Structure 1
Amino acid sequence: MSKVRVYELAKKLGISSKKLISILEELDVDIRNHMSSLEDDMAQLIMDLVSEEKGSKKTKNETPKTPEPPKNTEEVSTKPKIQKVVLPSKISIKDLGSRINIEPVKLIKKLMDFGLMVNINAEIDFESAKKLIKEFGYEAEEEREDELAELEKEEETRPEELKPRPPVVTVMGHVDHGKTTLLDAIRETNVAASEAGGITQHIGASQVEKDGKTIVFIDTPGHEAFTALRARGAKVTDIVVLVVAADDGVMPQTVEAINHAKAAGVPIIVAINKIDKPGANPERVKQQLSEYGLIPEEWGGDTIFVNVSAKNRIGIDTLLEMILLVAEMAELKADYNARASGVIIEAKLDKGRGPVATVLVQKGTLKVGDAIVAGPAYGKVRAMRDSRGRMVKSATPSIPVEVMGFSEVPSAGDVIRVVSSEKEAREIAEKYHEIHKEKENITTPKVSLDRIFDRIKQGEIKELNCIIKADVQGSLEALKLALEKCSTDQVQVKIIHGAVGAINESDILLASASNAIVIGFNVRPDSNAKKLAEQEKVDIRTYRVIYDAVDDIKAAMKGMLEPEFKEVVLGRAEVRALFKVPNVGTVAGCYVTEGKITRNSFIRVIRQGVVIYEGKILSLKRFKDDVREVMSGFECGIAIEKFNDLKEGDILEAFVNKQVEQ
């Protein structure tokens, strides 16, 4: 990509270099990387913005001309005509521009005014698009199938029946800034220790009491799930608590969380965490966040900042008080007597209990025995548990409960409704099935994540088909959304199937038929699926951290997949005698029973079938001579680096990690 020098661009635009640098700061561009030159597409964007700004100034300074009187006064409308546009639930800036015949750069500039930094290919949801095109004199209507609209029709809210309800709070922020630890401090539980890589992998909801009032917390795997719920029209959050580490400051995902919360129009409370750590600087965090429109109250802004330490439970009560204060100002109300409806926060398939879903009730009171429907899943509420695992008979608005009794696992974000009978619930679910029974039949050569880059270059592949299997529905939704965002101009990532449960034979057969790779999240393939995958040459990838899967897909598409290493066992030796050698430590007199032991190999100490140490060989000798390798049937002396606790009878296994060709 060609580049243009900063001072040349400033000269061309007739502005100072200082002015250009301030524009770059507004666009959230890392100035250090662009001090000498800019990519041509960035330069073009700045030129468009500056020329548009100059044009608007010129228009303001010009004396307005007196308009000629119209020939026919009946033809003149007193108000500008608002044009209606039908938009899907998600649309890219580029497509939106072409639909309303407005340059995408103008849309991007308007989104910047809203505090959203996006590029031309970024997707925004219907609500954000509606708000955006309203600025240009358009009115948006959502694309919906008539049958679905009829199915989702809700009864009208009666104002006289509205009563106060608890606030629903979503905790967001960058990875490892202490979101789950903060929730643990609030709930007085310990979840973080059991999570892979310290990252929240599931979506859960819990409730806490403060001064006799209830607060409901939703813990999400970052902003992905937050957006997934909003994209389906299931707006569940009343307040966002943005967690920022005092020693780390504002990070990329912090900015994304701010943008998502602003787009949803949800009030933000900032919790500056880890204030007791060395190097903590809460003032610097406030300064950084003020650049994104979050100005502290003490600076004359309207954003509440609370200093907390989740680990040492400092400032937790203050945070809860602030949440209740914001909730009180928002005057949150719901109808407790209406027919119950809510949203699915999480869903999974439990071996003993069948399909189980975490439901957040939004209206009415959900009771045991109610006939329910959520998308294609229907059933009867057999049992309900609250966030602490206690059995309950009813759940009122804003209260999260685990519901048992579904016919199948519903999707996270699906709206759950109570209907008059189980028969009606089944009929509605069958209609959903009819509407959504699009099946994909693709027959192309097999694809592997390792070779995808070569095939993209050769133009063979335009889509990367993926099948995702996860342990719970919430993780599945978050992973789907994250992987779909990996799409580039050259290749589109397409999720052809996603479900909860272990990777089975039908997944492999679908992958084989549709030329897809299988991604398992916190699940493994069963033995039959493994054999079939080898036979059909289907690529299976398993992960425990969402971001690892995303990084692998991106790296594969860029041809930068890290080399894979495979362990190769070279040989084994039995310890028959031990010698103490000064300045070396314990040397094992060994007999090589199979294969060979080499000087550069790694060594594994096995005692009674259990591995007790892995490390490097410090020295390998035959008699008094240093040797490179000792073959089977010969004796040798082996010293292990940083390990002296050897015993006679121990087995030493030599192995190397060989790079597998990608």
Structure 2
Amino acid sequence: QFFVRPGGWWPRPFCVTWPLQVKGHKPKPKVEKQEVEIKQRMTVEELARAMDRDFDHVVESLLNTSLDIDRLEPDSVLDQTWIKEVVSRSGMKPRWAKLSEPRQRPNKDATRRPPADPALLRPRPPVVTIMGHVSHGKTTLLDSLRASQLVSAEAGGITQHIGAFLVRLPSGESMTVLDTPGHAAFSCLRARGASATDIVVLVVAADDGVMEQTVESIRHARNAGVPMIVAVNKCDKPQADPERVKRELLSHNVICEEYGGDVQAVHLSALKGEGLVQLTEAVVTLAEVLELKAEVDGLMEGVVIESRTDKGKGPVSTALVQRGALRKGAVLVSGRTWAKVRFMFDENGSVLNRAGPSRAVQVCGWRELPSAGEGILEVESEHRAREVVAYRQHLDEQQRLGEEQKTIAANQEAHLQQYRLQRAELAHLSWRHALYQKNKEAFASRPRERDTDQSTPRLGVVVKGDVDGSVETLLNVLDSYDAQHQCELNLIHFGTGDISETDVSLAHTFSGSVYGFNVSVARSVQQVALQKGVPLRLHSVIYKLIEELKQELSQKLPPETLQTVLGKSQSKPGLNQD
């Protein structure tokens, strides 16, 4: 069968079969490649798990490709091109996963009921919001209406957050009054008060006239579609000029009845109690025109006016009942939390068992602190409440995932564009020269980044407030800070309640300060802060807190040398004595 030729054994020419079949030898069966189920987009960790490999294997499979493997992390997302490349280089076969319709989660949300039968509606008291500029006498007016001492209870005579009170009129009728702050920092609270009210009483001082927060209050009332009554306060002062106030309001499209409009204007002195009868009559008259009615029975619907954490009661909210009746033991849902009403209190601390429409009450029994401005709905049971909260949390999670996917895609596109630009710049160089240039840029950038970080002053703050609305206001103040290039302002932590050792520890870790608004500090916490050198800055008036924050930021800035020209002189040649 074989003969010898130079270079090895060769078969004879007449040999038909090649190669020779050895007796008992079977050909190897064809090896099927392992299939890997892939999707359009997968993270590196998901791809490694699908291939039954580790993270390093995926990275090694992407060597010598245009993908920047130095930036790869386990949660980095790969598109289908790179997924197929990794699977192919691993000796496997990609197989697309079957696209199945995503299982829609049934809608378990709770919504407001449809409008009730008009025959079931009953008249209800009006909800009145007192708005206006800071120190124009809003709380003094409410003090006169209630014949109490609200002004003395508020620090600095300035209302710090919304107060909701039931005012009984001499005529026997009643109205719920929301007292909103007038300071510039409390714009969000004024907007919330206007959206939950029937009538806005715009307080304008007769001596000051229309001011900044007056215009803002007008805008909030107009955006909410709420009618207004102008209360010209401080008419007892010698420099008072009520007619000037009405003329100034004309420029803001607030036309009083004396000038042919439909806005009632009442002259009063809240401090002396003058004109209060006329004001209440104006409110009652406007309420009759509006024909305010509501369903007095059925499941309760309302809104969170304010919320806070009480030391003995836990999370407490001030709730305004808008429809139905709120009773002790009712199960409520607000936003992403729920409550079973354990206790209800009025503005004087008296226990209530029932609250009808237009009544503001303090509710105890929340699992977590509800957000101010959120709606409140009563549901049938605790199981139903948990179901609603779980569904709303699911919607939030889906929205968050969608936003994260968009952010990841945008970052990947930006990195890819940057990589392509770098490749284009180094394309004309040899590989040694390109590697040298890349390493040179990387090492040269490190000292500059370190120097910049050291040279930029920083201030970290921990913010604690008594109620949710106060913290919201302080966060808005911090958001308005626009000098990060001069001194970085970092928010370390925020929340409601008294200052704790955890707050002090956080501030110490980041070399920051703790700012408290209407909160207290235990003696043990003060000792910890003193030992760690953490400043505790407590305030009960908002503008004083803002001023101290500005002062601390200014102290962080490096000193600047300023030259002040005190005078100028000109030298002339002296006289010739000869």
TM class by shorter chain equals 0.5 to 0.7
What is the deviation of 1:249? 2.0
What is the deviation of 1:225? 5.1
What is the aligned partner in structure 2 of residue 318 from structure 1? 278
The answer to whether the 8 A contact 1:272-1:282 is kept is yes
Q: What TM-score comes out, normalization by structure 1 length? A: 0.54
**Mapped pair 1:552 → 2:548:** yes
* Distance in 1 (alpha carbons) for counterparts of 2:535 and 2:376: 36
What is the aligned partner in structure 1 of residue 109 from structure 2? 151
1:524 pairs with one of 507, 520, 524: 520
The one of the two structures with greater contact order (alpha-carbon pairs below 8 A, sep at least 6) is 2
What is the deviation of 1:206? 0.8
What is the aligned partner in structure 2 of residue 249 from structure 1? 209
Alignment of 1:489-528 (within 5 A): 490=485, 497-512=493-508, 517-528=513-524
Higher share in helix: 2
Distance 1:150 1:355, change over 3 A: same
Distance 1:335 1:485, change over 3 A: farther
What is the deviation of 1:369? 1.2
**Mapped pair 1:199 → 2:158:** yes
Q: Return the letter of the residue paired with 2:154.
A: E
What is the deviation of 1:292? 1.8
Distance 1:543 1:333, change over 3 A: same
What is the Cα-based RMSD across aligned positions, in Å? 3.5
Alignment of 1:384-395 (within 5 A): 384-395=344-355
Which one has a bigger Cα radius of gyration? Answer: 2
What is the deviation of 1:271? 0.8
Q: Return the letter of the residue paired with 1:498.
A: F
What is the aligned partner in structure 2 of residue 274 from structure 1? 234
What is the aligned partner in structure 2 of residue 480 from structure 1? 475
1:209 pairs with one of 145, 151, 168: 168
The answer to whether the 8 A contact 1:373-1:419 is kept is yes
The answer to whether the 8 A contact 1:308-1:316 is kept is yes
* Distance in 1 (alpha carbons) for counterparts of 2:283 and 2:532: 54
Alignment of 1:414-453 (within 5 A): 414-429=374-389
**SS of the residue 1:208 aligns to:** strand
**Mapped pair 1:178 → 2:137:** yes
* Distance in 2 (alpha carbons) for counterparts of 1:152 and 1:546: 37
Deviates further, 269-278 or 207-216: 207-216
**Mapped pair 1:169 → 2:140:** no
Query: Cα deviation per residue 1:240-272 (whole Å; 9 max; x = unaligned)?
Result: 111111122222222222222223232221111
* Distance in 2 (alpha carbons) for counterparts of 1:328 and 1:186: 20
Query: Cα deviation per residue 1:127-177 (whole Å; 9 max; x = unaligned)?
Result: xxxxxxxxxxxxxxxxxxx99996353222234344332221111112211
What is the aligned partner in structure 1 of residue 425 from structure 2? none
What is the aligned partner in structure 1 of residue 371 from structure 2? 411
The answer to whether the 8 A contact 1:412-1:477 is kept is no
The answer to whether the 8 A contact 1:504-1:528 is kept is no
What is the aligned partner in structure 2 of residue 542 from structure 1? 538
* Distance in 2 (alpha carbons) for counterparts of 1:537 and 1:283: 56
**SS of the residue 2:221 aligns to:** helix
Query: Cα deviation per residue 1:584-614 (whole Å; 9 max; x = unaligned)?
Result: xxxxxxxxxxxxxxxxxxxxxxxxxxxxxxx
Structure 1 stretches of 5 or more lacking a match?
A: 1-145, 439-454, 564-662
* Distance in 2 (alpha carbons) for counterparts of 1:399 and 1:351: 25
Query: Cα deviation per residue 1:564-602 (whole Å; 9 max; x = unaligned)?
Result: xxxxxxxxxxxxxxxxxxxxxxxxxxxxxxxxxxxxxxx
What is the deviation of 1:218? 0.5
The answer to whether the 8 A contact 1:204-1:219 is kept is yes
The answer to whether the 8 A contact 2:492-2:506 is kept is no
What is the deviation of 1:200? 0.8
Distance 1:397 1:538, change over 3 A: same
What is the aligned partner in structure 2 of residue 375 from structure 1? 335
What is the deviation of 1:495? 5.4
* Distance in 1 (alpha carbons) for counterparts of 2:114 and 2:492: 37
What is the deviation of 1:473? 3.0
Structure 2 stretches of 5 or more lacking a match?
A: 1-103, 401-451, 560-578
What is the deviation of 1:344? 1.6
* Distance in 1 (alpha carbons) for counterparts of 2:523 and 2:455: 35
**Mapped pair 1:401 → 2:361:** yes
Query: Cα deviation per residue 1:431-490 (whole Å; 9 max; x = unaligned)?
Result: 56677799xxxxxxxxxxxxxxxx9995566xx764321223333333333443344675
Q: Return the letter of the residue paired with 2:321.
A: V
**SS of the residue 1:151 aligns to:** coil
The answer to whether the 8 A contact 1:249-1:285 is kept is yes
Query: Cα deviation per residue 1:337-363 (whole Å; 9 max; x = unaligned)?
Result: 342121122223333333322110112
What is the aligned partner in structure 2 of residue 304 from structure 1? 264
What is the deviation of 1:186? 0.7
Q: Return the letter of the residue paired with 2:142.
A: L
Alignment of 1:110-121 (within 5 A): none
What is the deviation of 1:191? 1.0
Q: Return the letter of the residue paired with 1:411.
A: S
Distance 1:388 1:290, change over 3 A: same
Query: Cα deviation per residue 1:211-257 (whole Å; 9 max; x = unaligned)?
Result: 343211011223765634857x9931222111111122222222222
The answer to whether the 8 A contact 1:228-1:481 is kept is no
Alignment of 1:503-652 (within 5 A): 503-512=499-508, 517-533=513-529, 538-554=534-550, 556=552
Q: Return the letter of the residue paired with 2:115.
A: T
Query: Cα deviation per residue 1:492-550 (whole Å; 9 max; x = unaligned)?
Result: 86756432221112223344556754320122333444454456554432211012223
1:227 pairs with one of 188, 197, 219: 188
How many correspondences in the alignment?
Answer: 398
* Distance in 2 (alpha carbons) for counterparts of 1:200 and 1:149: 42
Higher share in strand: 1
Distance 1:198 1:528, change over 3 A: same
**SS of the residue 2:195 aligns to:** coil
